[in-house]
Amino acid sequence: AQRVTQPEKLLSVFKGAPVELKCNYSYSGSPELFWYVQYSRQRLQLLLRHISRESIKGFTADLNKGETSFHLKKPFAQEEDSAMYYCALKGSNYKLTFGKGTLLTVNP
């Protein structure tokens, strides 16, 4: 079975502060990990995927197979980063398994 855990439902930081959204997963094989973001009144959209190893909007995430984690990080949060963030896992098939999400609020 595959499972994704996002331990924080809510995360609040000040503008310019570092931010880390935690994601842990459970999967017996080699997963593909994603971060999806949903801004207010917008649809769910892909932020980044671990196989791309790229930085999007200043966010990065590294897959740590030893700790089974894929935490999302940004060194300096901006107000426009306020959104709902979902970590998702794709196993050997096509299904995406999502965590429950973390609502990030960046205060001015």
Partner 1 sequence: GAGVSQSPRYKVAKRGQDVALRCDPISGHVSLFWYQQALGQGPEFLTYFQNEAQLDKSGLPSDRFFAERPEGSVSTLKIQRTQQEDSAVYLCASSSERASTDTQYFGPGTRLTVL
Which chain residues interact with partner 1 by CB under 8 A?
4, 36, 43-46, 49, 86, 88, 90, 92-101
Evaluated on CA atoms 60, 62, 67, 68, the torsion sign reads positive
CB of 46 to partner 1, least distance (A): 6
Closest to 79 (Cα-Cα) out of 16, 37, 19, 18: 16
Closer CB to partner 1, residue 17 or residue 46? 46
Query: Nearer to partner 1 by C-beta: 66 or 94?
Result: 94
Q: Which is nearer to partner 1, 15 or 68 (CB)?
A: 68
